[in-house]
A and B are shown apart, each in its own frame.
Chain A
């Protein structure tokens, strides 16, 4: 755990401007997402400082969740980029169709080489050998394309093929997320949910699985212990063996949060973490989020409906309406902004 990261001192947004120590951990530039004629998100810029809590608020249909899904790699942006820890992760995909065409190129080369060497004259054996080599080349290409080693991605980008990061790449880069409508693995136990969340922390391979090796056993034991810690952190200690779907609603939200922490993220994306909670649970969740930032030095991007939650813990707030940024700043500034009041309450209300 990165205990060394020093969180900014301003915890309650009492009008202090967002303190940004060093470079932002995540910076979105001109993110746009269009669904057919509908522009769901237009030109949104956002910086999340390391250790900061940034919130996005806005009325229903404002494009908050769409923006969020772009950042999490679930949908590709129409334009714009998202950089995480200085590395551009998300961008508009380019010429993706070409990739599947290129998959057959090695096979064709192999066939051409074989024919050039005179496989056709060698009769049946030659043809059979060629066919085997071609199939082999195809399989190797497909396996490489599925595993996607870094040299493969670099090769593709040289050819002008750019694929935006997939959700699992985003997680591997160091983001964890929760969903607006809880998406736990309902029929798995609490412990199994967290262990899935720790997937990238575990290194056992197929050989370990098959041999049920001691290394795997050690790793699983350590992971189980760590899962217990995470559960303790969110207040679900000792409930490892309950089924996720049997937990009360508030606990399911906490479990999802614990699962998102499993991969030791540097940035946590929370999509309406207090949706559907009663005031009591909301207060607890807010306190928990604050604690995560304080104790673990996490940066947090929050989407929220509930103004009280947002105002209490955010360093910086982005207000969206109809896919556009309408206001931005520290909580106090945003609260007073007439455009925000208008968006929430309608014209003439201010």
Chain B
């Protein structure tokens, strides 16, 4: 059910490494077929038991489409957190900016009517602009300070939207947003989930390809260098401020893209959709999925979203029917963040590199302890008896 079935198959080692080598050489091809196959398989899988008993195919696919939004968000945050090592706790702000950009550009509230397709680009650019505005003065800060500033920004944006009711309808949000259309065909809001699903599929494939290309380029190398050792990176001629700013802006633009799609999908946006819990959920997706690994992050986002939106609900229904004394009374959905917390703590203890780590992270976190002692004996003579 995971989206990584093709490149990270759990088949024998030889096949696995061959697939790995192939996907290293032909990144775009493997992304295209990997995501494509997963996207074709998912609608079929949900026709099988037990999934078909939960809900109909249409509902499932709507869920997958929303999961796709979170995959996009996680991919974008991965640029900032995973590749460049900048902790961004206010990521939902850029998501909000993208969503409201489309809401203002295509709703009866403003009376403007701009097509969805150019707005995808404009929303991304808008979010990137805000990313630069936030980043330029603050990216000189390091570590914790940056996290606090971004946390503040993440709060400021929804609160501003909430209180700027003249331009944003405040807490009511903007409704009646125009659905995307191709020619005369307007995307149906109910009934046929395929148009949105396929557009989301396209967005994910394109984003993943582009992010892979950035990662493999000179810029990706600079991000990695900045993450590893900022001073050494600067001493090798890397302009660390521009490098970090680019990571910030590109991460933000991915969120803007996701935001535009969200507004078009839900056809209504409210400030409540962009609160801190979104930033936190996406961060948890990135960490649990495996920071720095593009495939891992995408799969991690998908799994977490599915756990949150399907598994917990099904647990509720299951225990309602089975009637176990205490468990039947628990509303598992309410314990979602408790479960995240437990999962994160457990993860940090057992598998700090995430579910699907990048090779590099694995090396960073599982340090010499086993490898070096094994290889060179005990060079320092310091191992305990």
A interface residues, Cβ below 8 angstroms from B: 72, 74, 100, 103, 124, 128, 135, 138-139, 142-143, 145-147, 166-168, 171-172, 177, 179, 183-188, 192, 195-197, 199-200, 202, 204, 206, 208-212, 216, 220, 243, 259-260, 262-263
Contact = CB atoms under 8 A, between A and B. Distances in A.
A167 to B, nearest CB: 4
Given A171-B234, A177-B235, 9 more contacts: A146-B242, A146-B245, A184-B232, A185-B229, A185-B232, A185-B233, A196-B221, A209-B214, A216-B218
A204 B220 CA distance: 12
B363 A187 contact: yes
Contacts of A263: 236-237
Nearest to B249: A143
Contacts of B221: 192, 195-196, 199
Given A142-B136, A187-B364, A171 B237 contact: yes
Contacts of A196: 221-222, 225, 233, 236, 238
A171 B235 CA distance: 7
A72 B235 contact: yes
Nearest to B225: A196
A167 B133 contact: no
Contacts of B101: none
Contacts of A183: 229, 231-232, 235
A337 B364 CA distance: 49
Nearest to B217: A209
Nearest to B129: A139
A185 B237 CA distance: 14
B228 interface: yes
B128 to A, nearest CB: 10
Contacts of A204: 217-218
A220 B219 CA distance: 12
Contacts of A260: 236
Most chain A CB atoms below 10 A, which of B210, B213, B232, B235: B235
Nearest to A128: B167
Residue of A128, A135, A138, A212 most packed against chain B (CB within 10 A)? A212
B229 A243 contact: no
Given A168-B238, A168-B240, A209-B219, A188 B224 contact: yes
B136 A188 contact: no
B242 A147 contact: yes
A171 B239 CA distance: 10
Interface of B: 28, 129, 132-133, 136-137, 166-167, 210, 213-214, 216-222, 224-225, 228-229, 231-242, 245-246, 360, 363-364
Given A202-B218, A209-B218, A100 B137 contact: yes
Contacts of B166: 124
B232 A168 contact: no
B234 A146 contact: no
Contact of B210 (A128, A200, A210): A210
A214 B363 CA distance: 32
Q: Secondary structure of the B side of the interface?
A: helix
A172 B237 contact: yes
Given A139-B129, A167-B231, A187-B360, A200 B237 contact: yes
A210 B27 CA distance: 13
A266 to B, nearest CB: 14
A212 B136 CA distance: 28
B235 A167 contact: yes
Nearest to B241: A146
A72 B236 CA distance: 11
Contacts of B216: 212
B207 to A, nearest CB: 11
Interface-central residue, B224, B239, B241, by most chain A CB under 10 Å: B239
- Among B218, B224, B236, which residue has the most Cβ atoms of chain A within 10 A? B236
Contacts of A184: 229, 232
Given A146-B241, A199-B222, A202-B218, A139 B234 contact: no
A176 to B, nearest CB: 8
A189 to B, nearest CB: 10
Contact of B234 (A143, A168, A186, A243): A168
B219 to A, nearest CB: 6
Nearest to A178: B235
A128 B129 CA distance: 17
Contacts of B133: 135, 138-139, 142
Contacts of A128: 167
Contacts of B245: 146
A142 B229 CA distance: 25
Contacts of A72: 235
Nearest to B214: A209
A220 B213 CA distance: 13
Contacts of A145: 136
A311 to B, nearest CB: 28
In order of increasing CB-CB distance, the 7 nearest A-B pairs are A142-B136, A171-B237, A209-B217, A167-B234, A183-B232, A200-B237, A185-B228
Contacts of B232: 179, 183-185
A208 B222 contact: no
A171 B218 contact: no
22 contacts: A128-B167, A135-B129, A139-B133, A142-B132, A142-B133, A167-B231, A168-B234, A168-B238, A183-B232, A185-B228, A186-B228, A186-B229, A188-B225, A188-B228, A196-B236, A199-B221, A200-B237, A204-B217, A210-B213, A212-B28, A212-B213, A259-B236
Of the listed residues A146, A188, A211, the one surrounded by the most CB atoms of chain B closer than 10 A to its CB is: A146
A5 B237 CA distance: 24
Contacts of B364: 186-187
A12 B136 CA distance: 50
A336 to B, nearest CB: 36
B34 to A, nearest CB: 18
Contacts of B239: 166, 168
Nearest to B134: A142
Contacts of A199: 218, 221-222, 236-238
A102 to B, nearest CB: 13
B330 to A, nearest CB: 43
B363 A171 contact: no
B149 to A, nearest CB: 15
Contacts of A135: 129, 133
